[in-house]
Amino acid sequence: MNPQEIFRNKVFYKVLLDPPILTQGSWRGAGKLLIDDKDYWLTSRPRNVEKRGYGIEFFHSNNGNDFSLYRFISKEEISSEIGIEVDSIENTQLIIDPLTGKYYLYASVNIDSRLQKWVTVLLTSDDIKGEWKSKGIVINNDQEYDSAEARDCSIEVLDGMYIGLCKARKLNDNKVYTELLVSKNGISWKKLGLPTINGVKQDPSPAFLLNGNIYSSVYGPMFIGTVTTFYKNAHVTKYFGSYIIDLKSNNLEEVFITEWKSDSKYERQDFPIHNYCNVIYDENNSRWDIVIEAIDPIYSKNVGTDNEMDRVLLYISKRK
């Protein structure tokens, strides 16, 4: 697996999800594509100006191209289940736990809008349409560097070990970092801290965020996805890249970073992506699927939380 080759061969394929309303401030995205044999599951966070992130959507497909809404869970239902009032929802991660076979749904939730405190909660279920049970807050604001935000994680299970790269921000600080975590069961997490980048301490100006997927490689775990270093009243990006994750030294070694080239009319040219990205190998279709939350160039008044309109796009990559 060469991440540069995946990127080089990418072509725009189609719009997967439109926002709830075709207007600024309305988004879909911040989810995860999970391929379970012939079933394709895509989670999403719907949003508009009045409601912010108001729930979690599960979309289903049997071909990887055409998705329909399968299940919706409101933020009020999530608040009731976890026992904490949720003001808004952002990134979601859907995993199948290797030990229990249950679906693990990680959700980034805003539990204090005044302080903008964000944590990551876990819900589990035997069936997407069935009952979801709370495991509570599993990634909390318990370190100085993530005392305001511990969320928007990219989580994978490699050889039985859970690995997470999450957004971290401390109270009263606008700088945003990436933290590294591991877990044996996906419930109790060990924070390894803020990894160095190529052996150098993180010093974001103003952000260093990674969002994508983590794979096994001959060098160890490898991240592939977006690299976000911009803040324009929202974390947006035009970069795509890859890092080797060294768990022992807590270091991210750059494999490559390059500028994302927009191949569709549904993306801005300057800042095409609102941070969120999936890079999944689709064995059924013999291709790599790259799913992005794209910032629309026509309906968006500008880049920023209530100014832009986001939809979910699918790029595919095949070896030529």
Query: What pLDDT, in 10s, does the model give residues 86-108?
Result: 999 999 999 999 999 999 999 99
Best CA proximity match to 310, nearest among 272, 280, 263: 272
| C-alpha span between 163 and 304 (Å, rounded) | 30
Q: Is the pTM of this model over 0.75?
A: yes
Query: How many helical (H) and strand (E) elements, i.e. helices and strands, does the chain have?
Result: 2, 23
Domain covering 3-317 in this structure, CATH number:
2.115.10.20
Q: For residue 105, what are the contacts with CB-CB under 8 A and spacing of at least 6?
A: 43, 56, 92, 93, 94, 95, 122, 123, 124, 125, 132
Residue 77, phi then psi, degrees to nearest 5: -65, -40
Strands 196-197 and 251-259 turn out to be parallel
DSSP state of 175: -
Nearest to 164 by CA among 100, 85, 104, 115: 104
Residues lower than pLDDT 70 in the chain: none
Domain limits, the chain: 3-317
Identify any residues that bridge with 53 across adjacent strands, giving them in sequence order: 47
Give the pLDDT confidence score for residue 144 in this predicted structure. 98
pLDDT of residue 66: 98
Tokens at residue 123, please?
A: 């819900």
**Nearest-angstrom CA–CA distance, 122 and 44:** 16
Distance CA 271, CA 20 (A): 21
- Find the helix or strand (DSSP H, E) in which 76 lies: helix 75-82
